[in-house]
Amino acid sequence: MAAVKEKSEVNSPNRKILLEHTRNIGIAAHIDAGKTTTTERILFYSGVVHKMGEVHEGTTVTDWMEQERERGITITSAAISCNWQTKDGPFKDIKHQVNIIDTPGHVDFTAEVERSLRVLDGAVGVFCAVAGVQPQSETVWRQMDKYNVPRIAFINKMDRTGADFFTAVKEVREKLGGNAHPIFIPIGAEDQFKGIIDLVKMKAYIYDETDLSGVKYDIQNIPADYQSQSEEYRESLIEALADFDDVLAERYLDGEVLSEDEIKLGIRKATLSLKFLGVIPGSAFKNKGVQMLFDAVIDYLPCPLDLPPMIGQNSDEEKIELIADDRGKAAALAFKLWSDPFVGKLVFIRVYAGEMKKGAVLYNPRTRRNERISRLMVMKADTREDIEAAYTGDICAIIGAKDISTGDTLCDKDLDIRLEPPTFPEPVISMSIEPNTKADQEKLSLALQRLSEEDPTFQVTTNHETGQTIIAGMGELHLEIIRDRLFREFKVEAGAGKPQIAYRESITKKAEGEGKFIRQSGGRGQYGHAVIKIEPNEKGKGTEVINKIVGGVIPKEYIKPTEEGIKEAANNGVVAGYPVIDWIVTLYDGSYHDVDSSELAFKMAGIFAFKEAMKNAGPILLEPIMKVEVATPEEYQGDIMGDLNRRRGQIQGMETKGNLTNVICFVPLEAMFGYSTDVRSLSKGRASYAMEPSHFEQVPSNILKKIVETSTKAPART
């Protein structure tokens, strides 16, 4: 744990719930693993709602958008706060505040998961007891690793046919590399799933089958036929904890009996190390195991004081530590924007230090402007509660900030710090969009601007040759939801062109290029001259311009415009006009004119030099490749694989789970349009699939010809 001040010193006297009793957690998993249902049960048991909603009925609290309720999926991450008290353990009977973010599972909305995990202290990974570790589970796991988020796991759907808790735990270890150990084990499975056994207390929780709410359960001695299994897994759990706590290890090796609180503190210490994963079985839909899961959130996941200080940079790019402290200077990170029809722009923030009061003026280091907070609110999904102040560790929303973007820092004017913003993937698909009437043109522009502010993976550009508006996003569903929101929220009817792929261009060998821009028009002319070398960079390493001008052959003031010209030229490659990636350019020679040279002339020289060099550097076109996993009954396996082969798919492997076969392959995005309809028809609606962006590969020559022919007509560029 990070060294911090005494807890009494960091809490404001105005706090209702102390900082050490605050938890910020996310519920994250593959689509349809049960995140939203689990969140809904937590809200019911904590008293936020008095009736449990269901995803299939469209009545859940956190899936509040019309599009979410119609489709039965989570589209936008919803923040909600509740209170919880454990009945035993180190935090017995202490009221805790838990801020929960229910994140989407669909890969098209992965940005919502990314920005949520950036501001959370801990997470609950939900896995399906039948399907185990699914493709998006791996993506979410990598995102949690990226932001060093401590986590626990909930193996959900233990009531489903084919549920296997221990196989799911094994998959977490093998596929995700997680040091997973059960802290509860199930009693029965499928329709015989009756309860769970606590390996810390060595007691069984048997649910009352007549009480459908899951509130009533009996705490009993472990059934005789589960006694040896429970002892075996408890022994394994304590051995695993001994690796993280020398005192616990010594007592265990000496044969001493460890108390419940000692084991719980051992689990907490191991969890915070990021090298241990406690696992709990349950069924959110059948209301079993959720209370124990939430107790584990309190007992094992961190409060803001347990984490290392947040690292930021000042205006001189020097690193600064920001310690969680109500009495320090205020600093918060804006991680999400939302257009609310009633109050305007909502900015979701995570407060990392200090106290923020309603009416306060905060400084934005990016814009170097002050922002006044006119209102502060705690969110309850789509409802909200006004508050007078927010404290360290709080997740809340503000109204009144004008010029603010996702990832901005808001801080005290005397605190010069910029916190690390979340990072987002590049869009992979684009299409043109046009309003149906001239009257809708202005409304469309305003609506698209607001939507692009909210969603960093949604981009809007204008094709200057055709005048068309181009929208780009993470997938077909992403853009479909955008169009639906345009109609419902902004009352704009718009038609869309055929989806276009976000191709990229690159080079395969070294080359040189010379660019000259010379104009004479009677008076003062224009003169710029640059010579460059271009070479491929490592895949995924991006682009780089190196200045090796010596002897003043190009004056210092013209170096930057030349580099800008090179970068601008890379936005439109020579193959089909798509952005060029993974290259290194060295600017090493050129010449200038004492009178006629200008910044514009050298920028144009940089553009010409890049174009010429790229033509000689073996230019290639790259297409996005998707990792696709299809789960299909065995009888349709042949048809599914044949169809994937026709789509230029490369089969990577297959695995059987029960009567389902998982086919894993890489398929070009271009071949995946309309696949959801095709896979249903091939399997009579029984197969499902998931896909996520994987990498770029060179386009085959027969496909390249078609793309180059259409690139002059299709305006989509991202």
Q: Are residues 410 and 463 in the same domain?
A: no
266 versus 116: which is more confidently predicted? 266
* pLDDT value for 108: 61
The reply to whether 238 falls in a domain is yes
Instruction: Compute the distance between CA of residue 350 and CA of residue 408 in angstroms, rounded to an integer.
Output: 11
pLDDT higher than 90, residue 63: no
Listed residues 477, 497, 517: the one ending a domain: 497
Q: What percentage of the chain exceeds 90 in pLDDT?
A: 38
Q: What percentage of the chain exceeds 70 in pLDDT?
A: 90
Q: Are residues 42 and 187 in the same domain?
A: yes
The reply to whether 104 falls in a domain is yes
* pLDDT value for 257: 84
* pLDDT value for 146: 85
pLDDT digits 0-9 by tens, 18-32: 899 999 998 888 777
* pLDDT value for 716: 40
Instruction: Compute the distance between CA of residue 187 and CA of residue 227 in angstroms, rounded to an integer.
Output: 11
Instruction: Compute the distance between CA of residue 17 and CA of residue 457 in angstroms, rounded to an integer.
Output: 36
* pLDDT value for 558: 93
75 versus 260: which is more confidently predicted? 260
* pLDDT value for 149: 92
Task: Pick from 33-37, 56-60, 481-485, 649-653 the range whose average pLDDT is largest.
Answer: 649-653
Q: What secondary structure, in 3-state letters, does 24-81 show?
A: EEEEEECCCCCHHHHHHHHHHHCCCCCCCCCHHHCCCCCCCCHHHHHHCCCCCCEEEE
The reply to whether 352 falls in a domain is yes
Q: Are residues 278 and 317 in the same domain?
A: no
Name the pLDDT band for 50 (thresholds 50, 70, 90).
Answer: low
pLDDT digits 0-9 by tens, 484-533: 888 888 888 888 777 778 889 999 999 999 999 998 766 678 999 999 99
Where are the alpha helices (H) located in 570-625, listed in sequence order? 599-615
CATH of the domain at 691: 3.30.70.240
The reply to whether 91 falls in a domain is yes
CB 9 within 8 A of CB 324: no
147 versus 183: which is more confidently predicted? 183
DSSP conformational letter for 209: T
* pLDDT value for 47: 78
Q: Are residues 145 and 224 in the same domain?
A: yes
* pLDDT value for 74: 47
Q: Are residues 637 and 653 in the same domain?
A: yes
* pLDDT value for 595: 86
pLDDT digits 0-9 by tens, 363-420: 999 888 999 999 898 876 556 788 899 999 998 889 888 888 888 999 998 888 999 8
The reply to whether 234 falls in a domain is yes
pTM of the model: 0.72
Instruction: Compute the distance between CA of residue 357 and CA of residue 364 in angstroms, rounded to an integer.
Output: 16
Q: Are residues 156 and 257 in the same domain?
A: yes
CA-to-CA dists, residue 274 to 1, 121, 149, 166, angstroms: 11, 12, 7, 21
Among positive and negative, which fits the CA dihedral 363, 368, 372, 375?
Answer: negative
CATH of the domain at 571: 3.30.230.10
Strand partners, 506: 620
pLDDT higher than 50, residue 604: yes
The mean pLDDT of the chain is 85
* pLDDT value for 718: 39
pLDDT higher than 60, residue 1: no
Q: Are residues 626 and 612 in the same domain?
A: no
Strand partners, 532: 513, 587
Listed residues 394, 419, 444: the one ending a domain: 419
What is the number of structural domains in the chain? 5
Task: List b or e across 59-80, with b for residues whose CB sees 16 or more CB atoms inside 10 angstroms.
Answer: ebbbbbbebbbebebbbbbbbb
Tokens 């459908």 label which residue?
A: 212
Q: Are residues 151 and 59 in the same domain?
A: yes
Q: Are residues 199 and 301 in the same domain?
A: yes
pLDDT digits 0-9 by tens, 613-640: 999 999 999 999 988 888 888 888 999 9
Instruction: Compute the distance between CA of residue 61 and CA of residue 37 in angstroms, rounded to an integer.
Output: 10
pLDDT higher than 70, residue 296: yes
CATH of the domain at 465: 3.30.70.870
Which residues constitute the domain of residue 559? Answer: 508-618
Listed residues 497, 530, 556: the one ending a domain: 497
80 versus 563: which is more confidently predicted? 563
Strand partners, 573: none
The reply to whether 58 falls in a domain is yes
CATH of the domain at 43: 3.40.50.300
CA 552 from chain center: how many Å?
47
The reply to whether 3 falls in a domain is no
The reply to whether 5 falls in a domain is no
- To which H or E segment does residue 124 belong? strand 122-128
CA atoms within 13 A on the CB side of 171: 21
Of the listed ranges 106-110, 490-494, 536-540, the least confidently predicted one is 106-110
Q: Are residues 290 and 348 in the same domain?
A: no
Interval 670-694 mean pLDDT = 80
Interval 74-88 mean pLDDT = 73
pLDDT higher than 80, residue 196: yes
Q: Are residues 167 and 234 in the same domain?
A: yes
Interval 420-427 mean pLDDT = 82
CATH of the domain at 339: 2.40.30.10
List of residues 6+ apart from 532 with CB closer than 8 A: 512, 513, 514, 515, 566, 585, 586, 587, 588, 606, 609, 610, 613
Q: Are residues 658 and 525 in the same domain?
A: no
pLDDT digits 0-9 by tens, 139-174: 788 888 888 999 999 999 999 989 999 999 999 999
pLDDT digits 0-9 by tens, 222-236: 999 999 999 999 999
* pLDDT value for 344: 73
